[in-house]
């Protein structure tokens, strides 16, 4: 091989020397006429001067031009490229203006009728004008470069030669021996043409090189093209090398693993340590039979895979999940009624109904283990203790506690899990929480169940139907686990602020326990027994007591700085007072006694606005009671007469139902006022406004309040400021029952309004009121609007036969 390579190099040098000598005198030896037949080139090739190349001729006009060249122009022909290779019969306008004069060296006919022509490039030339119609023939002008030999030219030649060597190293398109053509070439013009012919590039780039006359400019363009192509080839080689290394690594690992497997088989079939551990876990673990079969099948698949295969990772993760779920593990449940009652009372003040329901369940469990765990739904305004009550239930029953927030949940897969076919698939959050807790009978709190949404990813509320149904959840199947898991031992507790946003099918599966607003007395005891001790526990390391609350100070904060159904705002205000007291303690070193004066000093003026309470009786303003998700509230409904033509104006962001109540009230007021006041309804517009204007309001329960305000303003009779009312009105003047009585009555009590007008059929709802509220309130139960007006306006009833019933505290009637 070395001798052969040396011989090739010597032959290339000899050829280069002979070619150089031939080129020196070729223009002198060959007389180039000014008119030459022309061949239009449409191949992806540009012929440069000082090069020898073959090409094919097949078109009729090209053959005629070649024939004339052989007969009349001393074998010289002008070769020029087409702008669009698709044109079959090119015209002069379809050709580039600059081409190459070539001398035909050899012609050979091929079997398909075309001719292979070997030509030698002589010189550049430019088309001047066409002179023949049968075939292409042009008058041409030879383009000779004018330049002087300079150091810049020599440097460019060296740089091009180096870049060509790099290109040849990376590319296999040019044999290395071809570069020998440039070794002994000193003529910059000849060098540039040979380099351009070897340079890669598009047909447009090659044509621009041909049209560049000065060799220095031509060499610069060649250098740019070579540098670009060399860089791309270098990047490609690096990528190929990386791919090759990865493939070799994978093949090597596969080979070694297979070899290791064979060695293990020869030594007695010793298993992989990971496979062995998993197999032992499956055999010795406490699993249902179907879980054991599924795990064994997946383990068999894992044994046949390469450990580095992506599918192997998926199988390992799946096995980890199903083998670590608590299929049978439980905590020993405490069924001690006295202990549970003590825990519930220690953690929460009031909340008698929820506590009673939990104790009933525990009593049932004490007598029978077959009792199904109920699905409890605590409904109430924020801050009344729904979440903390669920924690107390877990502590009272000696179960582990887990919390899952459903607020804003829109993906069904969060409940049921993802299929294993998805990348990054995981079980649903129910299964995740159970695995985290490690037992199958925990207390799981599903918080904010009323705030789930629906999206294109499914309805999570529909997925919860199976979870929260005691008849179905014993065989709950997660999409990822694909095995039935028994959820019947889980004590699910859900919380919500409102019920109407929960789908009916889901609401039907739950036992709803309403937790209403706290009274001021309940807030006082909660603050004194729970919140303040919790705040004090944060300062247990202090040798001196930092602060001490007076009872009057706590009551002042409740009554003058908070107006809420729960106790969250109360805790924030108490913490604000404690922070300021702590600062004072650090300065003085003495225990701070927090009394009413200190509360005013720390928190500033009262935050409960005095204008919220009516100062006097006035016509056209009646006090109503409303229910909101945050508890009950008072609602002042204002009526006014404005000069007009009997129109109705309604403001205050009222909903459709409440607007209908306004129209009913107006019709009823016109009927009850009679002919005596008919003129007012025709000469005045009636304006009904319900503050606050920025808060949306709806519902039928303000019917009697609106009617009272209207009759009051028309008859100019003041409405009692110490009377609040709620109830739906009909066109016949009947008063219909409404909801939210407990919250509404507590709102009136909180405002200091102790006379409340209620529909007769709502009398049964008073049993749910705290004794503190019930003992101070005076309830007037009504069936008609006449009875309402008798109390609110102090007017006599039109219906003499009916009597009204008033109830104060637990007394019968009065």
Residues 467 and 341 in one domain: yes
800 and 681 within one domain: yes
Strand order in the sheet with 723-725: 648-651, 684-689, 631-643, 621-628, 723-725, 755-759, 778-782, 805-808
pLDDT at position 723: 92
| Cis-peptide into 109, omega within 30 deg | no
658 and 794 within one domain = yes
pLDDT score recorded for residue 611 = 46
- Residue 373 forms part of a structural domain: yes
653: nearest Cα among 705, 698, 700? 698
The answer to the question of residue 8 being in a domain is no
300, exposed or middle or buried, with CB in 10 Å at 0-12, 13-18, 19+?
A: exposed
CB 534 within 8 A of CB 574: no
Cα–Cα distances (Å) from 481 to 138, 345, 491, in that order, read 83, 40, 21
637 three-class SS: strand
| Interval 781-809 mean pLDDT | 67
Known binder of ligand: residue 33?
no
Asked which of 603, 636, 654 is the last residue of a domain, the reply is: 603
Count of helices and strands (H, E) across the chain: 27, 25
Q: Which of 294, 598, 742, 744 is catalytic?
A: 744
Torsions phi, psi of 540, nearest 5? Answer: -65, -25
* Nearest Cα to Cα of residue 685 among 724, 646, 738: 646
Coil vs helix vs strand at 480? coil
Would you place residue 529 in the very low, low, confident or very high pLDDT band (cuts 50, 70, 90)? confident
* 383 in a known ligand binding site: yes
Q: Which among 521, 515, 513 is positioned nearest to 554, based on CA atoms?
A: 521
Residue 386 annotated as binding site: yes
What digits encode the pLDDT tens for the residues 581-609? 888 888 888 888 888 888 888 888 877 65
Kindly tell me if the per-residue pLDDT of 5 is higher than 70: no
pLDDT top residue among 610 and 358: 358
What CATH number does residue 501 fall under? 3.40.50.300
CATH of the domain at 121: 2.30.130.40
For the chain, the C-alpha Rg in angstroms (whole number) is 49
Residue 294 annotated in active site? no
> Hunting for tokens 């203006």 — which residue is that?
97
Predicted pLDDT of residue 725 = 93
- pLDDT at position 565 over 90: no
Comparison of pLDDT for 56 and 692, the residue scoring more: 56
701, 712, 742, 751: the catalytic one is: 701
Task: Specify the pLDDT at position 266.
Answer: 63
Q: How many residues does the chain have?
A: 814
- In contact, 739 and 628? CB cutoff 8 Å: no
Q: With a cut of 70, say whether residue 396 has pLDDT above it.
A: yes
Q: Output the CA–CA distances (angstroms, integers) from residue 175 to 8, 167, 171, 180, 200, in the order listed.
A: 12, 11, 9, 10, 14
Pair 428, 415: CB distance under 8 Å? yes
Flag whether 165 is in a domain: no
Residues 718 and 755 in one domain: yes
8-state DSSP, 719: B
Please indicate, yes or no, if residue 218 is contained in any of the structural domains: no
Domain finish residue from 560, 579, 603: 603
Q: Give the pairing of strands 376-379 and 621-628.
A: unpaired
Q: What is the pLDDT of residue 296?
A: 86
Q: Is-contact 353 389, C-beta < 8 A?
A: no
The phi, psi pair for 2, rounded to 5°, reads -60, -40
Choosing from 603, 634, 657, the residue where a domain stops is 603
Same domain, residue pair 501 and 551: no
- Asked if residue 37 lies in contact with residue 136, where contact means CB atoms within 8 angstroms, the answer is yes
Q: Which residues lie below 8 Å from residue 195, measured CB to CB, with a gap of 6+?
A: 160, 161, 164, 182, 219, 222
Task: State residue 711's pLDDT score.
Answer: 92
Tokens of 739: 């909801």
**Same-domain check for residues 508 and 525:** no
The answer to whether 591 is annotated as binding is no
Residue range 703-717, pLDDT digits in tens? 999 999 999 999 999
Residue 570 shares a structural domain with residue 507: no
Predicted confidence (pLDDT) per residue in 248-305, tens digit:
777 777 777 777 667 666 654 444 677 778 888 888 888 888 888 888 888 888 877 7
Model confidence, pTM: 0.58
- Both 419 and 558 in a single domain? no
Residue given tokens 């039935």 in the structure block: 484
Residue numbers of the domain that contains 341:
337-514
Q: Are residues 437 and 585 in the same domain?
A: no
How sure is the predictor about 453, in pLDDT bands with cuts at 50, 70 and 90?
Answer: confident
The helix (H) or strand (E) run that includes residue 486 is none
Grouping H, G, I as helix, E, B as strand and the rest as coil, residue 748 is helix
- Binding residue per annotation — 380? yes
The percentage of the chain sitting over the pLDDT mark of 90, rounded to a whole number, equals 10
Per-residue pLDDT reduced to its tens digit, 717-740: 999 988 999 999 999 999 999 988
Asked if 659 and 623 sit in the same domain, the reply is yes
Tell me the mean pLDDT in the region 772-801. 79
Residue 652's contacts (CB-CB under 8 Å, 6 or more residues apart) are 688, 689, 690, 691, 692, 693, 697
Q: What is the mean pLDDT of residues 371-393?
A: 81
Residue 448 in domain: yes
CA 521, distance to chain mean position in Å, is: 45
CB-hemisphere CA count at 13 Å for 274? 12
Query: Which residue, chain included where needed, has tokens 């091009």?
Result: 160
Domain count across the chain: 5
Residue 616 CA to residue 60 CA, distance in Å, equals 115
Using the predicted structure, report yes or no on whether residue 541 has a pLDDT greater than 80.
no
In a domain, 756, yes or no: yes
Highest mean pLDDT range out of 37-46, 365-374, 611-620? 37-46
Query: Contact 780/766 with Cβ under 8 angstroms?
Result: no
For residue 467, count other CB atoms closer than 10 A to its CB.
21
Cβ atoms of 265 and 257 within 8 Å: the answer is no
Contact 719, 793 (CB under 8 A): yes
Average pLDDT, the chain: 81
C-alpha to C-alpha distance for 174 and 442, rounded to whole angstroms: 76
- Looking at the chain, the whole-number percentage of residues with pLDDT higher than 70 is 89
CATH number at residue 571: 1.10.8.60
How far from the centroid of its chain's Cα atoms is residue 707's Cα?
49
Whether 680 is a known active-site residue: answer no
Residue 613 sits at φ, ψ, to 5 deg, of -105, 130
* Cα(323)–Cα(379) distance, integer angstroms: 37
Query: Is residue 1 scored above 50 in pLDDT?
Result: no
**Which residues are 697's β-sheet partners?**
654
pLDDT digits (tens, 9 = 90+) for 157-186: 888 888 888 888 777 777 777 777 777 778
- Sorted by sequence, the CB contacts under 8 Å of residue 804 that are 6+ apart come out as 780, 781, 782, 787, 790, 791
Any domain includes 307: yes
CATH of the domain at 640: 3.30.230.10
Most confident of 65-79, 195-209, 254-268, 707-721: 707-721
Residues 439 and 532 placed together within one structural domain of the fold: no
Pairing of strands 735-736, 728-729: antiparallel
**Could you tell me the two tokens for 318?**
């799946």
d(CA 119, CA 9): 24
What is the residue whose two structure tokens read 């020898």?
52
pLDDT, average across residues 208-226: 87
Is pLDDT at 307 greater than 80 in this prediction?
Answer: no
Q: Return the structure tokens found at 370.
A: 């077959």
Structure tokens at 409: 């949940």
Q: What is the pLDDT of residue 782?
A: 93
Residues 476 and 376 in one domain: yes
pLDDT score at 456: 65
CA dist., res. 637 & res. 363, Å (int) = 49
Residues 6 or more apart whose Cβ sits within 8 Å of residue 588:
none
Q: Assess whether pLDDT exceeds 70 at residue 613.
A: no
Q: Is 178 annotated as a binding residue?
A: no
pLDDT of residue 812: 27
Let me know if residue 474 belongs to a domain: yes
Least confident of 64-78, 227-241, 449-463, 569-583: 449-463
Q: What angle do CA 743, 747, 748 make, to 5 degrees?
A: 120
Which pLDDT score, from 0 to 100, does residue 486 have?
A: 86
* Residue closest to 753 by CA, chosen among 735, 737, 769, 776: 776
Q: Which pLDDT score, from 0 to 100, does residue 805 have?
A: 45
């Amino acid at each position: 091989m070395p001798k052969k390579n040396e011989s090739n190099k010597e032959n290339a040098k000899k050829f280069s020397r002979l070619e150089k000598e031939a080129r020196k005198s070729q223009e002198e030896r060959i007389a180039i006429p000014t008119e030459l037949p022309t061949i239009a080139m449409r191949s992806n090739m540009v012929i440069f001067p000082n090069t020898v190349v073959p090409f094919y001729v097949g078109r009729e006009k090209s053959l005629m031009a070649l024939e004339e060249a052989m007969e009349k122009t001393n074998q010289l022909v002008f070769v020029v490229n087409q702008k669009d290779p698709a044109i079959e019969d090119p015209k002069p306008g379809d050709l580039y203006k600059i081409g190459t004069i070539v001398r035909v060296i050899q012609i050979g006919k091929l079997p398909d009728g075309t001719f292979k022509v070997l030509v030698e490039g002589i010189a550049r030339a430019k088309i001047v004008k066409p002179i023949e119609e049968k075939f292409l023939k042009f008058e041409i002008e030879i383009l000779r470069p004018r330049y002087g030999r300079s150091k810049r030219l020599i440097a460019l030649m060296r740089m091009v030669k180096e870049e060509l060597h790099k290109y040849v190293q990376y590319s296999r398109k040019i044999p290395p021996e071809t570069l020998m053509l440039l070794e002994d070439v000193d003529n910059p013009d000849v060098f540039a043409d040979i380099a351009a012919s070897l340079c890669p590039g598009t047909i447009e780039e090659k044509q621009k090189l041909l049209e560049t006359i000065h060799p220095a400019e031509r060499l610069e363009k060649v250098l740019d093209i070579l540098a670009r192509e060399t860089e791309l080839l270098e990047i490609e080689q690096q990528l190929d090398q990386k791919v090759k290394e990865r493939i070799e690594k994978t093949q090597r690992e596969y080979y070694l693993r297979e070899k290791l497997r064979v060695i293990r088989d020869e030594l007695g079939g010793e298993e992989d340590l990971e496979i062995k551990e998993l197999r032992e876990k499956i055999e010795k673990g406490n699993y249902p039979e179907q879980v054991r079969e599924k795990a064994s099948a997946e383990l068999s698949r894992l044994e046949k895979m390469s450990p580095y295969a992506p599918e192997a990772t998926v199988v390992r993760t799946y096995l980890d999940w199903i083998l670590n779920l608590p299929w049978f593990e439980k905590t020993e449940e405490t069924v001690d009624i006295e202990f549970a009652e003590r825990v519930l009372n220690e953690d929460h003040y009031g909340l008698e109904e929820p506590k009673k329901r939990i104790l009933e369940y525990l009593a049932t469990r004490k007598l029978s283990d077959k009792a199904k765990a109920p699905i409890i739904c605590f409904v109430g305004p924020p801050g009344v203790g729904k979440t903390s009550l669920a924690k107390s239930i877990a502590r009272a029953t000696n179960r582990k506690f887990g919390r899952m927030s459903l607020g804003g949940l829109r993906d069904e897969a969060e409940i049921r899990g993802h299929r294993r076919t998805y990348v990054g698939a995981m079980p649903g959050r129910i299964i995740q929480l159970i695995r985290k807790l490690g037992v199958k009978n925990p207390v799981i709190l599903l918080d904010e169940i009323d705030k789930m949404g629906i999206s294109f990813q499914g309805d999570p509320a529909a997925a919860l139907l199976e979870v929260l149904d005691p008849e179905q959840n014993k065989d709950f199947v997660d999409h990822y686990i694909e095995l039935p898991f028994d959820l019947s031992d889980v004590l699910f507790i859900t919380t919500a602020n409102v019920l109407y946003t929960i789908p009916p099918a889901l609401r039907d599966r739950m036992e709803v326990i309403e937790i209403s607003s706290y009274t001021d007395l309940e807030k006082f005891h909660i603050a004194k027994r729970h919140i303040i001790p919790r705040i004090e526990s944060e300062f247990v390391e202090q040798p001196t007591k930092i602060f001490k609350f007076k009872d009057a100070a706590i009551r002042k904060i409740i009554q003058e700085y908070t107006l809420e159904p729960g106790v969250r705002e109360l805790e924030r205000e108490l913490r604000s007072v404690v922070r300021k007291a702590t600062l004072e303690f650090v300065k003085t070193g003495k225990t701070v006694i927090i009394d009413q004066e200190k509360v005013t000093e720390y928190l500033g003026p009262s935050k409960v606005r005095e204008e919220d309470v009516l100062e006097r009786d006035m016509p056209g303003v009646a006090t109503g009671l409303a229910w909101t998700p945050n508890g009950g509230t008072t609602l002042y409904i204002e009526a006014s007469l404005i000069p007009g033509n009997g129109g109705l104006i309604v403001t205050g962001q009222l909903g459709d139902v409440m607007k209908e109540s306004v129209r009913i009230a107006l019709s009823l007021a016109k009927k009850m006022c009679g002919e005596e006041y008919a003129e007012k309804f025709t000469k005045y517009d009636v304006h009904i406004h319900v503050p606050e204007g920025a808060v949306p309001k709806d519902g039928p329960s303000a019917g009697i309040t609106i009617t009272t305000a209207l009759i009051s303003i028309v008859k100019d009779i003041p409405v009692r400021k110490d009377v609040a009312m709620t109830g739906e009105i009909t066109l016949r003047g009947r008063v219909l029952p409404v909801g939210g009585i407990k919250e509404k009555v507590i709102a009136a009590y909180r405002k200091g309004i102790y006379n409340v007008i209620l529909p007769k059929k709502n009398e049964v709802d008073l049993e749910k009121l705290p004794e503190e509220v019930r003992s101070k309130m005076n309830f007037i139960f009504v069936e008609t609007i006449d009875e309402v007006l008798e109390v609110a306006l102090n007017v006599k009833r039109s219906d003499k036969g009916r009597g009204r019933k008033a109830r104060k505290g637990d007394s019968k009637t009065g």
